[in-house]
Amino acid sequence: MKRISVPIENMTETLMTLNISRDHAEDIVSLFEVVDMGRSDELALPVMPFNDCGRHNLTRKDMLITLFSFWRCVSCKEESDSELLQQALGAIRALFFVAENFGYQNVSTRIEEWWHSTVEPRGSESVTLEQWL
């Protein structure tokens, strides 16, 4: 199975756009595995048990934001017809539902806003979040 990774800078910046402080974003990034990609280092998603996120010093809300940030970075670097893009969008869709069900309305709202501004304008291959609901 292919390792999925994202540039470190992209992950840190994305976390910060979701109101995570730089210090906390760097703490979160340190939980990821750093992968040498030749010209740069990237982050690979580690196993992060959602029901045991306290051992990573993350709240469930932080965990959702972290996972959304990772998959958002993946989706932004992929071509519109790639299989990995479809996997990333599916993961983001699932995180939207988890955020809704846990009552993290501000997280689900941020996911929905991102979806409307980024995914839907990509073209006819993309499905609106409302169609997926």
| 112-125 per-position pLDDT tens digit | 999 888 876 655 34
How high is the pLDDT of residue 40? 80
**Maximal CA-CA distance, the chain:** 42
How high is the pLDDT of residue 133? 47
State pTM to two decimals: 0.82
Q: For the segment 47-92, what is each residue's pLDDT rounded down to a tens digit?
A: 766 666 556 678 889 989 999 999 999 998 877 678 888 899 999 9
Question: How far from 86 is each of 31, 38, 46, 51, 93, CA to CA, in Å?
Answer: 25, 26, 20, 26, 10
Q: The tokens of 115 are what? A: 């979806």
Q: For the segment 24-35, what is each residue's pLDDT rounded down to a tens digit?
A: 999 999 989 898
pLDDT at 1 over 60: no
